[in-house]
A and B are shown apart, each in its own frame.
Chain A
Amino acid sequence: MSDTTQSAPGPLSRLLASDIFYRFRRDPVAIVSATIVLLFVLAAALAPLIAPQNPYDLTQLDIMDSEVPPFWQEQGDPRFLLGSDHQGRDMLSTILYGTGLSLIIGVFAVLLQAFLGVSIGLIAGYNGGRIDAFFMRLADIQLSLSTLMIAIIALAVFQAAFGSELYQDLAIIMLILVIGIAEWPQYARTVRASVLAERSKEYVDAARVIGLPRSRIMIRHILPNTLSPVLVISTVQVAEAIIAEASLSFLGLGMPVTQPSLGSLIRSGFEYIFSGSWWITIIPSIVLVVLILALNLLGDWLRDALNPRLYSRR
C-alpha cells in the first residue's frame, strides 16, 4: 500500500505486487497444485503436437498393437510408453487428448453454471420479494435432485430420441449443457447471499442517490463485490464438473469410445482389468485423481487467501 501516490502500475506488476501473489509464493501446496493444473492444461492444449499418435485417426491404429503393456513391463514397446488399449491406441496419446476433452467440458460447463447462477443470484438477491422466492425455491427443487440423476435422464432421453449417431457428434455440447444447467444453484445461492450482504451497504445507497440505473448498480457496483466467493467455488466446481463428466462417461452416457474423455477411457478399460490389462483403466484413473486433487487444493488455497478473516493464521 506504500506506492499509492505513484501513477497506475501495469496489470502484471500490479498482480506481482498483490497480496494474493505474495500468499501464493509462500504456500508450497498452492504452487505445486497450480503447477500440476498448468501442466495438464498445457499438455492437453499441445496434445496434437506432442502426442505420438492421433487416437482419432483410425488409419494410424493397428489391431496387432492392442493391449501392449507400459514400457517398464516385459512385453512393453517403446512406441507405447504407457501401453495401448484393446484397439491398439497409444494410451499416452489418448490420455492427452482425453484430458483436453475433460478440461474443456469442465471449464465450459462451469462457465455456463456461473453465467446462469450469477445472473439469477444477482437478480434474486437485488430484487428480493417474489422474484427471490421463486428462484430460490427453484434452486431448492433442483438441489433435491442429484446432478447425475438429472444428467442421466436428460442424456438418455436425448439418445433415445435422436439416436446415438447424432448423439456422438453432439456429445460434448450435450454434456456441457447438462452439467452446466444442473449445477447453477450452487452459484445462485452463493451470489445471492453476498448480494444480500452488499445490498444493504451504504455505497449501494450512494449509487442510487447518484441516479444510476438498477442494471448498472447490479452489474457494476454489486457484482464485482461478490466475485471472490464465485472465484473460490469455480475451482471446486470445475473439479466437480470433470467428475460428473467422467461418471456419465463411465456409465456410457458421456463421450463416445471413438472420442474418449478420461471417464470413457476408464470405462473402456474396465472390461479388461481382469484379463490383466490393468493399465487401460488404472493410468487414466490416476490422471483423473491427480487433476481433481490439484484443482481442489487450489480451490482450498484460494478460499483461504481471499478470506480476510483467515489472514492472521498464516
Chain B
Amino acid sequence: MALLEIEDLEVEFPNRHGTLTALRGINFTLDESERLGIVGESGAGKSMAAFAILNLISEPGRISKGRIVFEGRDLAKLDEEEIRAIRGDRISMIFQDPMMTLNPVLTVGVQMIETLKAHRDISDEDARKLALARLREVQIPSPEARLDAYPHELSGGLRQRVVIAIALLSDPAIIIADEPTTALDVTIQAEVLALLLALCRDHATALILITHDLAVVSQITERIIVMYAGSIVEAGATRQIIDTPQHPYTIGLIAALPEQNAPGQPLNQIRGSMPSLNNIPPGCAFAPRCDYATDICHRIVPNLTTAHGQSVACHHAGQLQPQESVRDTERAVS
C-alpha cells in the first residue's frame, strides 16, 4: 500500500471575483522511500500541493475536495492538534531560502531541540546529542560550535544543511523539499542535492522534491509529476518522462533546458505565460501556448489518461512525435 495517497484534491481561494481554484483534481501516490519530483512553472501549484499535504494552506484558502491519506488517516480531516503531531515528526518540510527559514534570534541548537521537544518527551541533554548527531550526518564541520551559533553566523550552504538536519531530526516518513537549492549557488546546489539523496537513501525516507529545474529532478527522483495551472498534465517514471515526454508542455520544458541548445544560439522557450487562475481558458489550460493545439483543445478539458505507466492529459497524446520534433528543431537551429 502506498505511504501517501492523494485523491482528487482541490484547493480553493474565495476572493472578490468569486472562487479561485488553485489546485484541481490532483491525484498521486507516494510509496515508502520513493523519491517523487513535482515540476512546473511558478504559480503552477507545486508549493500549494505541498502545503495542502500538511494542511498549512493560509487563510482564506481551503481544501474543498479530496482526500490525503497518510498512514491510514485522512490529513485533510484531522483537527489542528492531530495534524500538528504529524508535522515535523512524520512529515517534514525543507523550504527554498535558508536565509529565511531559520529564526534569526534563536541559536541553531535551540531551534533543533525545540523541534524534538515539540514531538516527544526528551531531556535537553538527549535532544542536544541527537541534534549533534544529525549535524554530523549533514556533514557540518565542527558541529558543537554550530549548535551554539546564530543563523547569521552561518553561510547559505551551511544553513540549508542545518535546515535539512532539522527536517531529519525525528526520522520522518516523508520529507517535502520545496525548491531546496534554488537560493544556493550552483556548486553548493550539487553538494546539497547529493547530500539529500544520500540521506533519503540511508534513512529510507520518501522525498517529494518540488522544483522548476528538470535537471535537478532527473538526477534525484524516480518519478515525476508535471503540473500546469493547478492540474497535473503528465506523470510517470523519471526516465520515461525525460526521454519520451508526451505532453506538449513537458516537451517545451525539456526543450527549454540550456543543455538542449547549441552554444551561441538563443534558448528555446515556451511562448506566452501561464494564464491567471482567475481566467483559465475553457478546454486545455495550455492550449493558448501550445503549438499542437487544435479545435478540440480549446473546447474540452483533456483527462489524464494512462498508457504504459505514463499518464498524460492531452487530446493528442501519443500522436505527437516529440523527440523527433525537438531534435529536428535543434538540428535546424544548429
Contact = CB atoms under 8 A, between A and B. Distances in A.
Interface in B80-102: 84-89, 92-93, 95-97, 100-102
Interface in B95-150: 95-97, 100-106, 114-115, 118-119, 142, 144-145, 148-149
Contact of A203 (B84, B89, B102, B153): B102
Given A4-B149, A7-B148, A8-B148, A206 B101 contact: yes
B119 A221 contact: no
Contacts of B115: 210-212
Contacts of B103: 203, 207, 221, 224-225
Nearest to B54: A209
A209 B145 contact: no
A5 interface: yes
Contacts of B293: none
A167 B92 CA distance: 59
Contact of B114 (A6, A8, A202, A220): A220
Contact of A211 (B85, B145, B148, B163): B85
B178 to A, nearest CB: 10
Nearest to B100: A202
B98 to A, nearest CB: 9
A271 interface: no
A206 B163 CA distance: 9
A230 B89 CA distance: 35
Residue among A205, A209, A213 having the largest count of chain B Cβ atoms under 10 Å: A209
A202 B115 CA distance: 16
Given A4-B149, A205-B56, A211-B119, A225 B105 contact: yes
A25 interface: no
Contact of B145 (A7, A128, A213): A7
Given A1-B153, A4-B153, A7-B145, A205 B95 contact: yes
Contacts of A4: 145, 149, 153
A209 B56 contact: yes
Given A5-B142, A210-B166, A225 B114 contact: no
Nearest to A9: B148
Contact of B100 (A203, A208, A220): A203
A201 interface: yes
B101 A208 contact: no
Nearest to A6: B145
Contact of B88 (A1, A210, A216, A224): A210
A225 B104 contact: yes
A208 B93 CA distance: 10
A212 B114 contact: yes
Interface string A135-160: 00000000000000000000000000
B244 to A, nearest CB: 36
Contacts of B95: 202, 205-206, 209
A202 B101 contact: yes
B97 A202 contact: yes
A4 B141 CA distance: 13
A203 B166 CA distance: 13
Contacts of A224: 103, 105-106
Interface string A292-312: 000000000000000000000
A203 B86 contact: no
Given A203-B102, A203-B104, A224-B106, A209 B88 contact: yes
Given A209-B54, A209-B56, A210-B87, A221 B106 contact: yes
Contacts of A201: 100
B87 A209 contact: yes
Nearest to B119: A211
B114 A209 contact: no
Interface string A194-235: 000000011101111111110010001100110000000000
Which 7 pairs show the lowest CB-CB distances between chains A and B? A211-B88, A210-B88, A211-B87, A202-B100, A206-B101, A224-B105, A209-B93
29 contacts: A5-B145, A6-B145, A7-B145, A7-B148, A129-B59, A201-B100, A202-B101, A203-B101, A203-B102, A205-B56, A206-B95, A206-B102, A206-B163, A207-B103, A208-B56, A209-B56, A209-B92, A209-B93, A209-B95, A211-B88, A211-B118, A212-B84, A212-B114, A216-B114, A224-B103, A224-B106, A225-B103, A225-B104, A225-B105
Given A209-B87, A209-B93, A210-B115, 4 more contacts: A4-B153, A203-B102, A206-B101, A213-B84
